[in-house]
Amino acid sequence: MFRNFEGSRTPETRKGEWAPGTVSFALRHVGSDAFKTLFKEGMSLVEISAAYLDGPGRLETKTLRREAALAYATESMRLTTRLMQVASWLLLRRAVNEGELTPAQALSEKHRVRLARQEMACAPDVLAELPPVFVDLCFRSMRMQARVLHLDSSIAAADASQPLPAMSAVAAQLARLRAAFMNL
């Protein structure tokens, strides 16, 4: 016996397509408490990283040999960029959730947020010389970025498969009235 649960694919749908009447997990997720938790985790990681880089991280770099210090500088720039991209995406989604932006407005703003997976650029032997707290922050930021990338691609797939809602009869009449009075 086959059951079609909300958001599941039926045998008749191809990969990436949703059966009519299904609800995307990703679209539900961004409006849930789970998204609020993700938002808090992401913003907290930004604050913790900034505090570390401005305080203890600055002191720890003074003890590194030249090659490790260069790797630290490179990875700290990548960490900062990665976290700013994640924070921008989270803030954009929160604005949609709170009604400050429409999904269409968010989509037009999304071109400014460049989410791209980043890995550590330094060699493993150099990575081993970097401060453990810094390395932990880098890996935590990559995990956060992977979560956001997954959610973003799931939202994009759900948006692409959802037909645009038809204008209601009342909305259509209001649009006609507005158009008529604009022409006066």
Q: What pLDDT is attached to residue 136?
A: 97
Type of residue numbered 101: L
User: What is the pLDDT averaged over residues 55-70?
Assistant: 94
Cα distance between residue 184 and residue 172, in whole Å: 19
**Percent of the chain's residues with pLDDT above 90:** 46
Rounded to two decimals, the pTM is 0.69
pLDDT at position 13 over 90: no
Q: For residue 174, what is the domain's CATH number?
A: 1.10.8.930
> 14 lies in a domain?
no
Q: What is the pLDDT of residue 162?
A: 54
Residue 42 resides in a domain: yes
Confidence of residue 2 (pLDDT cuts 50, 70, 90): very low
Residue 10 domain-assigned (yes or no): no
Length of the chain in terms of residues written: 184
CA distances from 8 to 19, 21, 33, 77, 155 (A): 8, 10, 21, 40, 15
17 within some domain: no
Residue 80's contacts (CB-CB under 8 Å, 6 or more residues apart) are: 49, 53
With the CA atoms of 158, 107, 40 and 38 taken in that order, what torsion angle do they form, in degrees rounded to the nearest 10? 20
* Residue 12, domain member (yes or no): no
Does the residue 18 lie in any domain? no
Measured CA to CA, the distance from residue 166 to residue 155 in angstroms comes to 20
pLDDT confidence of residue 23: 46
Q: Is pLDDT of 152 > 80?
A: yes
In a domain, 50, yes or no: yes
Note whether 80 and 137 are within 8 A (CB): no
pLDDT at residue 128 is higher than 50? yes
**In the structure encoding, which two tokens stand for residue 13, read together?**
């749908």
Tell which wins on pLDDT, 15 or 71.
71
> Furthest-apart CA pair in the chain: how many Å?
75
Instruction: Using the predicted structure, report yes or no on whether residue 161 has a pLDDT greater than 60.
Output: no
* Residue 144, domain extent: 25-182
Half-sphere exposure of 89 (CA within 13 A, CB side): 26
Q: Under the phi-then-psi rule, with left for phi > 0, alpha for psi from -120 to 50, and beta for the rest, what region is 7? A: left
Count of domains observed in the chain = 1
For residues 134 and 60, is the Cβ–Cβ distance under 8 A?
Answer: yes
Token duo for residue 1: 């016996």
| Mean pLDDT of the 133-152 span | 94
**Residue 13 forms part of a structural domain:** no
The 10 Å Cβ neighbour count of residue 145 is 20
